[in-house]
Amino acid sequence: MLKVTQLILKLGTVDYYVETFGEGEVLLLLHGFTGDSSTWTSFIPVWSKRFKVITVDIIGHGKTASPNQVPLYGMLEVVKQLKELIEQLKVNKLHLLGYSMGGRLALAYYMAYPETVSSLILESTSPGLESEEERRNRRIQDEELGNDILEYGLKKFVDKWENIPLFASQKNLDDKTKNQIRMQRLSNQEIGLANSLRGMGTGAQASYWQELSQIKVPTMIITGELDHKFFHIAEKMTKMTPLITHISVNNAGHAIHVEKPEIFGTIVMEFLANDLHKKEEEKMTVEWVAVRQYEEVIYEKYNGIAKITINRPHVHNAFTPRTVNELMDAFARARDDSSVGVIILTGAGDKAFCSGGDQKVRGHGGYVGDDEIPRLNVLDLQRLIRVIPKPVIAMVKGYAIGGGHVLHIVCDLTIAADNAVFGQTGPKVGSFDAGYGSGYLARIVGHKKAREIWYLCRQYNAQDALDMGLVNTVVPLDQVEEETIKWCEEILEKSPTALRFLKAAFNADTDGLAGIQQFAGDATLLYYTTDEAKEGRDSFKEKRDPDFGQFPRFP
């Protein structure tokens, strides 16, 4: 016999009815408008064999309370209630499955707490209405519908609701199933349904269309072939990110789980059983897009991340003047690209990040390029990495030696594979770096350790580097790009202006007047965006005295 735990949990000020079944990874099920958790009953015996299934009656539905206060039904308020639910149940990570209204709630929950979600399954769901005019019109309609529920009663509303075009295909269901659906709808309370429309209807919620590209977990949308509206919405959603897939079920309408339960159950279990979709630690495929062709560098982008790769693996990614010029061009493009928020610097292959300057082209006064002029233009590259107003992460696989060691040092962060090797060779080969490679290194690891690194030219493994604070983390080689992307994605969630000033402040501490100049330039750039600065500009152009008295003089 299937074991069920029935709970009444106070979430905020609302008493929620919750049921749990089975053990394992958590699968939370969210029903649609006028429904309750019983809509999932036929699936529980199979799903609970592999998952801990949690069902919940959403506020205003079923056995959960139906308070009079409309704000308690707001989408973001209900999201907070769900967060409290999983905290009380001591759940750290979960799969979310939502139908219609429950799908919109699942999507809103993910946008608020993405770190707690492993995957999303959305049945006949939209991310909301795109324009404010559409939302305003829908709010008016939902308010009128809510008033009708309260004025004319639940039975008249259900009579009308089950005959709307969205549920036309359900007329083909057998009489027993149709009666079960009707009785379940009639078991709700008028005030609960009315307030649900007012608080978390499609018109009341925010639009998440623009946020769909931020989805970082496997997401499946299931629609019925006969539900043309939501089929086209799903197709449009899949274009926002490659992590969203769409499955259409033949001869089904809006409620696939009711009309085609066996097919629906199979689709859900196959999706969850797939290890690529199921496990957070599994490596997801990233489709890097080439941005520009170079001879010795690869420049690619993915979802706001730029990846710049030194592409000379045959010489352990040692750089020439051409390599450095191409790197500077790629970094300059990443700096100017407003869609890029974070940059990865790495080396091709697994053997080396960068082994420094290519000694084969080292001449009398530097490294000689095609123009036969000896240069140390890598110093310009170091400075560019430092001043570019976006975080730069060194993704180190294999050797980061000599000038390559300095390149990872000037990056903001370093994520090392477990095969990474760090060290200096300068005094061995008649070279040294008296700038960032020594002075800034001493700031990172301390003067005694920095002198050891330079004077003895020893090599240090990844764990040694982590212990001395030279890198931020160490991960297995086959996970280093996945981990680096995770760090990038966390950075992309943060304020770009705040990050810009923090980087400038860190640099100002170590770079003297050059660092202060960078900080001052960033401050001027921010000031130019204010109304006060615009007043000064406009008054000059309009040949009038500026009116700075309208702006506050903060203490």
Summarised one tens digit per residue, pLDDT across range 419-462 is 999 999 888 877 788 788 898 999 999 999 999 999 999 999 99
Residues in Cβ contact with 369 at an 8 Å cutoff, skipping those fewer than 6 apart: 320, 321, 322, 325, 361, 375
Q: Are residues 297 and 266 in the same domain?
A: no
Confidence of residue 511 (pLDDT cuts 50, 70, 90): confident
Per-residue pLDDT reduced to its tens digit, 273-306: 874 444 444 445 578 988 888 889 999 999 999 9
Same-domain check for residues 265 and 343: no
* 370: pLDDT strictly greater than 70: no
Range of the domain at 27: 4-128+207-278
Q: Domain check: are 119 and 75 in the same one?
A: yes
d(CA 107, CA 121): 9
Q: What is the mean pLDDT of residues 187-216?
A: 95
- Closest Cα to residue 304, out of 333, 338, 347? 338
CB atoms within 10 A of CB 197: 27
> How far apart are the C-alpha atoms of 330 and 228, rounded to whole Å?
45
**The three-state (H, E, C) secondary structure of 267-329, written as one string:** HHHHHHHCHHHHCCCCCCCCCCEEEEECCCEEEEEECCEEEEEECCHHHCCCECHHHHHHHHH
In a domain, 98, yes or no: yes
CATH number at residue 338: 3.90.226.10
Task: Please tell me the predicted confidence (pLDDT) of residue 247.
Answer: 94
In a domain, 177, yes or no: no
169 belongs to a structural domain: no
Same domain? 254 vs 364 = no
In this structure, the answer to whether residues 217 and 307 fall within a common structural domain is: no
| List of residues 6+ apart from 28 with CB closer than 8 A | 54, 55, 56, 82, 86, 94, 95, 96, 97
Radius of gyration (Cα) for the chain, nearest Å?
A: 30
Task: Please check whether residues 345 and 463 belong to one and the same domain.
Answer: yes
Q: Do 94 and 50 belong to one domain?
A: yes
Q: Which secondary-structure segment (H or E) carries 154?
A: helix 154-161
Q: How many domains does the chain have?
A: 3
DSSP three-state, residue 142: helix
End position of a domain, from candidates 469, 490, 511: 490
The proportion of the chain whose per-residue pLDDT surpasses 70, expressed as a percent, equals 94
Task: Please give the pLDDT value at position 367.
Answer: 58
Note the pTM of the prediction, 2 decimals.
0.54
In this structure, the answer to whether residues 408 and 483 fall within a common structural domain is yes
Residue 372 — pLDDT band, cuts 50, 70, 90?
low
| One domain for residues 364 and 256 | no
Residues 369 and 351 in one domain: yes
Q: Per the domain annotation, does 179 fall within a domain?
A: no
